[in-house]
Amino acid sequence: MDAASAIEIGRAALILTLTVSGPLLFAALATGVVIGLLQALTQIQEQTLTFVPKLIVMGITLLLSFPLIGSALGDFMRVLSDKIVQGG
């Protein structure tokens, strides 16, 4: 394996990481902003108020993004396996 192949695999792994974690992180960020805005507007400063909506939204997002995550992981493994079989 030469340096170019290693860099290509590393770049693909980083893109895969963003593809897998991106939807969940964005959903948590958006939910946190909305809950924070509601807390600021209503002056309800309960710390535990943010956890339940974030868990629900992240669970729904995870269920909806399972096909995307599965296909991304499968494609990456297929490419990696082909490189291993070819010897580089």
Q: How many domains does the chain have?
A: 1
**Interatomic CA distance for residues 70 and 75, integer angstroms:** 9
Range of the structural domain that residue 7 is part of: 3-86
How does 60-79 read in b/e, with b if 16+ C-beta sit within 10 Å? ebeeebeeebeebeeebeee
Taking only the tens place, the pLDDT of each residue in 5-58 is 889 999 999 999 999 999 999 999 999 999 989 988 988 877 778 888 999 999
Question: How much is the pTM?
Answer: 0.78
